[in-house]
Amino acid sequence: MTTPRRTLVTVLVALLFGALCTAAPAAAEEPPRVHEGTIDGADYLVKVPKRWNGTLVLYSHGLYVEPWKPERIMLATRPETERWLLDQGYALAASNYKGVFGHAIEEALTDQIALLDWFQDNVGKPRRTLTSGMSMGAVISLKLAENNPGRFDGVLSQCGEYDTNGTWNSALDMLFALKTLLAPGADIDLVRPRDPQAAQAALEAVVTEAQKTEAGRARIALAGALGTVPGWALAHEPEPAAPADRLAQQAMWVAGAYLYGYGPAARPEIEHRAGGNPSSNTGIDYRRQLARSSGLDLVRQAYRTGGVDLEADLDRLAAAPRISADPKAEAYMHRYTVARGTTPSPVLTTHTTGDGGAVAGQVRWYGDQVRRNGDPALLRQTYVSRGGHCSFNAAEEIVLLRTLLSRADTGRWPSTEPRRLTAAANTLGDGYRLVPELFDPQGKEKAMPPSFTRFTPPAPPRPSR
């Protein structure tokens, strides 16, 4: 792979899992007080309006892929949201976590509380504290509330992976299928890689070659279906209807998110943190998993078009040697990366319907955990009809924050009916409608109208519990 291509991939993965705001917000008429520094090795940023209304929003960012990170510490998913919150009197705070890069969830859970303690000691005790986060930051925000009952009055969780361990297992399923069907017999380490870069290059090569044929594209579709990856990736385009277009956009997720974000080159970082390989497909019946997948019909059509025997490929998957996890690593992932659903404070989630980076089944899974372990009356879940991962505009983010603030103030949820949320977001005007296009190398932005919708996600393919 050429250097320009690798640079593009690094930027894409960073956009998929990390920061989406690319420009600093314009200065308010009365600039806020800015506090910057380091606590126990973690850089932080705090902004406090001169007329602080007593509410603090503690923000958790997503995963940053080394060496890429934003020029400034994020205080909201969208820069326009940051400006709006400050103008309305809200204080904002965020840590960049120790180490900054990779799956720094363990560090974030300590660093964010340390920053909250610093704020109380040096600025003042907030009347209300909300925690908000996107992508990896979403599960951080939830676990901050779960681990520290009484310290947060509400959680806004955006485009989250609430079962990160389940995502790594699902990613293994997809890469296992790609290797088994596209490179049978090849010496490619999917876990515990002896030479991560060589294994990554080999897998990239076979996937690139497969995309040139109908048969190869059918097998990529099968891999995507095992992870319930949707056939919608482009935020600036409507959901594709034609099967060929859906296959193409699903393949963008498989290659752009899972091959690079969870492939052999990404394994050393998570395996070092977890103390071994946390992923397993021991005992997994891929025929059964495909039968339950929302992508089954698309796979069948792709296999017919490609002239490939689906049953024969499923037999090959069934016969392929499985991969086992290290129990210590699994325990680490469960402890730090999997939400419990205990809802010690109100939780509001939001997700785009075409998210293949963190599939919407994660939201369904989290709702199930709340029904088992928490209080369903404290949970509301919303969806935005759009492709892309975390491809929200500021109007949508602001309306959701106002909804959560209303719940914190009154003890009752205001309406989260999609039509009402969309109408409220529309009142904010055109300046709050910019949405990034993740699959554009420059991350171009386009004004998109607010688009809340009703949606029932497919069941998650590999839940941890």
Domains and CATH numbers, the chain: 3-163+340-453 (3.40.50.1820), 165-332 (no CATH)
Determine the pLDDT at residue 17. 54
- Work out the pLDDT band at 8, boundaries 50, 70, 90: very low
Q: Which of 57-71, 237-251, 416-430 has the lowest mean pLDDT?
A: 57-71
pLDDT greater than 60 at residue 24: no
The DSSP call for residue 236 is T
- Helices 361-373 and 164-182 cross at an angle (nearest 10°) of 140
pTM (2 d.p.): 0.93
pLDDT for 396-412, tens place per residue?
999 999 999 999 999 99
Residues 6+ apart with CB under 8 A from 452: 382, 383, 384, 385, 396, 418, 419, 421, 422, 425
Residue-level pLDDT at 30? 82
Q: Percent of the chain scored above 70 by pLDDT? A: 94
Work out the average pLDDT over 93-119: 96
Residue 318 confidence (pLDDT) above 60: yes
CB of 386 closer than 8 Å to CB of 65: no
What average pLDDT does the segment 370-392 reach?
98
Average pLDDT, the chain: 93
Residues ≥6 apart with Cβ < 8 Å to 198: none
Helix, strand, coil percentages in the chain from 3-state DSSP, rounded to 5: 45, 15, 40
Average pLDDT of 224-246?
97
Mean predicted confidence (pLDDT) in 14-19: 53
What phi-psi label fits residue 260: left (phi over 0), alpha (psi between -120 and 50 degrees) or beta?
alpha
Q: Which residues of 73-107 are buried (b: 16+ CB within 10 A; e: fewer)?
A: bbbbbbbbbbbbbbeeebbbbbbbbbbbbbbbbbb
pLDDT band at 3 (very low <50, low <70, confident <90, very high): very low
pLDDT of residue 16: 53
Residue 361 has pLDDT above 50, yes or no: yes
pLDDT-derived band of residue 18, with 50, 70 and 90 as boundaries?
A: low
CA atoms within 13 A on the CB side of 42: 27
Q: What would the pLDDT profile of 26-45 be if each residue is shown by its tens digit?
A: 544 689 999 999 999 999 99
The yes-or-no verdict on residue 437 having pLDDT over 90 is: yes
22 closest CA partner among 388, 395, 435, 433: 435
Pairing of strands 42-48, 91-95: antiparallel
CA pair distance 285, 310, nearest whole angstrom: 15
pLDDT of 212 reads 96
Nearest in space to 104 (alpha carbons), one of 154, 151, 164, 25:
164
pLDDT of residue 48: 98
Which residue is listed with tokens 């935020």? 235
What DSSP character marks residue 163?
B
pLDDT for 1 equals 35
Per-residue confidence (pLDDT) for residue 68, from 0 to 100: 76
Q: Provide the phi-psi class of 383: left if phi over 0, else alpha when psi is between -120 and 50, else beta.
A: beta
Q: What is the pLDDT of residue 4?
A: 39
The C-alpha atoms of residue 56 and residue 431 are separated, in whole angstroms, by 24
What's the CA gap between 86 and 455, in Å, rounded?
32
Per-residue pLDDT of 121-177, as tens digits, reads: 999 999 999 999 999 999 999 999 999 999 999 999 999 999 999 999 999 999 999
C-alpha–C-alpha distance, residues 253 and 255, integer Å? 6
**Per-residue tokens: 150:** 């009484």
Angle at 30 between CA 29 and CA 31, to 5 degrees: 105
Cis peptide before 321 (omega within 30 of 0): no
Q: Looking at 306-315, 426-435, 441-450, which range is the least confident one?
A: 441-450
Q: Is the pLDDT of residue 116 over 90?
A: yes
Contact 154, 348 (CB under 8 A): yes
Answer whether residue 232 shows pLDDT above 60.
yes
